[in-house]
Homo-oligomer: A and B are copies of this chain.
Amino acid sequence: MSELEQRCTEAGLKMTGQRRVILKVLDSAEDHPSVEDVYDRARKIDESISIATVYRTLSLLDELELVIRHEFQEGYSRYELNSDHHHHLIDLETGKVVEFQNEDLEKLKIKIAHDLGYDLVDHRLELYGKRIKKK
């Protein structure tokens, strides 16, 4: 039983075949798949999975914070496993998503919120850029 499956079981979820497949898809994803993506990949393993189950499972995983739901400005959601904290730079020409971390940024965010009289609970930072062309 994978660590992910274990965490689901601990949270009280029944470990069904469909869930196992979806978790596997997420675990082996190296990108930030949309619901459609997860659905397509899951179907390659088990033809019978329905998209409603994918939606329901992803929602549950989001509630358990095992997964992070992103809404890059595309009109739908993308998901990724919740591991190390990081941000995203979206390549406007290719749609590629580059992950990054920055310590200064983390500190600055907290400071800004604090200066405004708030405790930072959550945040969202996305950069949208174009690759610098080498001459």
Contacts and interface: CB of A to CB of B under 8 A. Distances in A.
B102 A108 contact: yes
Number of copies: 2
Nearest to A99: B116
Interface residues of A, number: 32
A85 interface: no
B121 A128 contact: yes
Nearest to A98: B116
A124 interface: yes
A46 to B, nearest CB: 30
Contact of A108 (B105, B117, B119): B105
16 contacts: A71-B71, A73-B124, A92-B122, A100-B112, A102-B108, A102-B112, A104-B108, A109-B127, A117-B132, A118-B127, A118-B129, A118-B131, A120-B128, A120-B129, A121-B128, A121-B130
